[in-house]
Amino acid sequence: MDHGLEGKRALVTGAGSGIGLAIAEALAREGAVVALHGRDLERTAELRQSIESAGGKAVSVAADLLESGEIKAMCGDVLERLGGIDIIVNNAGWADFAEVPDMAEEMWDRIMDTNVKAPYLVSRHLLPAMLEQKSGGSIIFNASTSGKSADAEWTAYNASKHAVLQFMKCLAMEVGEQDIRVNAICPGWAESKMASAAIEKIAQQNEEDFEDTYERTMRGNMLGALIGPESLADMTVYLAGRHGRYITGQAINVCGGVNYY
């Protein structure tokens, strides 16, 4: 299936591993030129070489997403090296949990700054170039099914993902007439370092075996499925490409089926 991504210029934040890496590789396979973001430039340079050895095109960029100045500089680097931008994938995120009385202010700030402020800044710095091109584009947020639910102890994380979904919808309304589509992918529990770290903490709190907790948590969906990063990459390619040309302002679950209230 041709998704019409040949020659498109994309940025994927948090492309160093897991879901971000799968998304970057999938976009490159479709012919996009991908800017691979990570905090470790050596790591993203290794990934760039891997993508290029497979016939793809990529550049590596670095920024600490907790630092506004670094985000701005990174976005400028992306525009200079790619010559513009057609696809923005705000993938990077951070998860942790605690009951509110025990939640350190630093935890709240890190989650909000990584999950909400950083995607806003990336979008803010790159959107003017996308608008100036007058050729449309696609902005995709890696949100979460947690943005549609409420969970004890996950107050900061869920609040950040609710905020991302509302930011996405408002931005979609702003730029729709310029043929820029803005959507969010909402994974359930999906395989990633972040998910493993959260489940390790859950297992320790409950004095359970990690493998048992991992299996129960990750397969806690209608399909009993273990959702890999490639599933999120497939949806990203679909939304970014020509087959998703009339999809905007949507928060699409990729979760194996879960119920919400």
Residues marked as catalytic: 157
What is the DSSP secondary structure assignment for residue 11, as one 8-state letter? E
What is the DSSP secondary structure assignment for residue 176, as one 8-state letter? G
User: Do the Cβ atoms of 158 and 186 come closer than 8 Å?
Assistant: no
User: Can you tell me the distance from the alpha carbon of 157 to that of 96, in angstroms, rounded to the nearest whole number?
Assistant: 7
What CA–CA distances, in Å, run from 76 to 120, 130, 218? 15, 13, 38
User: Do the Cβ atoms of 250 and 184 come closer than 8 Å?
Assistant: yes
User: Do the Cβ atoms of 155 and 96 come closer than 8 Å?
Assistant: no
Closest CA to 74 of 150, 162, 20, 15: 15
Question: What is the secondary structure of 46-76 as a DSSP string?
Answer: HHHHHHHHTT-EEEEEE--TT-HHHHHHHHH
